[in-house]
Amino acid sequence: MWTAIVLVCTALPTPACVSGGGPAFATEQECIDNFANVGIPHIVRTYPNSKIAGARCILWGPNDLKDDVAL
């Protein structure tokens, strides 16, 4: 499954950044299209004075799906 992840930062005197992700998709192209058509407009509305510092779609494999994740 593919999910988008994005890093959004403000340009204040001390930069502040947040990260977030989106829903899962079967293909990389679906992930990219959704981020372009839904994710970016949402970020622009939610964080109007910020910039996208980085974004990508990530492919999660079966070894990435853990039943018990310790943070």
Domains and CATH numbers, the chain: 2-61 (3.10.20)
CA distance linking residue 2 with residue 4, whole number of Å: 7
CA distance linking residue 32 with residue 30, whole number of Å: 6
- pLDDT of 45-67, one tens digit each? 998 889 999 999 999 987 665 55
DSSP state of 44: H
The pTM (predicted TM-score) of the whole model is 0.78
Taking all residues of the chain, what is their mean pLDDT, rounded to a whole number?
87
Query: Which residue(s) pair with 3 in the sheet?
Result: 24, 58
Helix (H) or strand (E) holding 10: strand 2-10
Q: Determine the distance from the C-alpha atom of residue 35 to the mean position of all C-alpha atoms in its chain, rounded to a whole number.
A: 8
